[in-house]
Amino acid sequence: MKSLHIIAFTHNKIDLDDIGQFHIEDFHLKDRLNQLKSSLELDELMYLSTCNRVELVFVTKKHIDKLFLADFFKSFNSKWDHAQINKAVDLAELFHGEKAAEHMFRVASSLDSLVIGEREIITQVRKAYDLCNEYNLTGDVIRLLTQRTIQVAKKIYTESDISKNPVSVVSLAYHQLIDKNIKKDSNFLIVGAGKTISTMLKFLS
């Protein structure tokens, strides 16, 4: 457990614009994550990216300090200069060992979400693991962590009132739009093609 670490960038600590710089496009994801794992000689790696957070879960016995983080972000994005790397080091929120596991539990159960009670995050965590496992980036530690995280999140959703009125960022935005009495035959200009936009389009259709 001591070798488990998480580097997090969330809406709790930094602006959404800053979070965006840690997003990796899907068509670059496999190559960049494999490069990151290989260059830092990480034992395992998992990458979770949503509209308001980026989580880098990894396993290593190396000491995690600012020098390690600088090397980490230099490998994360080879195009970044020293100023961008230093900014990433300063913005990073770190969790280690049991604290890292507790953080994942809070994330997957939406206790750390922008909208508490939303259920999209548990699916996003599962999909992030499945993809990284497909890329041969994960091992037993992250596998067991993810299994336990999903179990804990489901228990919280079923045994508490957190999901009594299920909501999400998209559903709240959609209902606010409906409240404006937009005509059903209105045209929309959609900017972006990410997961949040795709979900919103399902609501609109």
Name the residues annotated as catalytic: 51
Local structure of 42: helix, strand or coil: coil
Q: Going by C-beta distance under 8 Å and a sequence separation of 6 or more, which residues neighbour residue 80?
A: 73, 74, 88
- Residue among 22, 37, 34, 46 nearest 132 (CA): 46
For the chain, state the CA radius of gyration: 18
DSSP 149-176: HHHHHHHHHHHSSTTSS---HHHHHHHH
Burial 166-184 (b: 16+ CB within 10 A, else e): ebbbbbeebeeeeeeeeee
Q: What is the separation of C-alpha 177 from the centre of its chain, rounded to a whole number of angstroms? A: 26
CA dist 185 and 20 (Å) reads: 33
Q: Which residues contact 194 (CB under 8 A, 6 or more apart)?
A: 51
How many CB atoms lie under 10 A from the CB of residue 23? 15
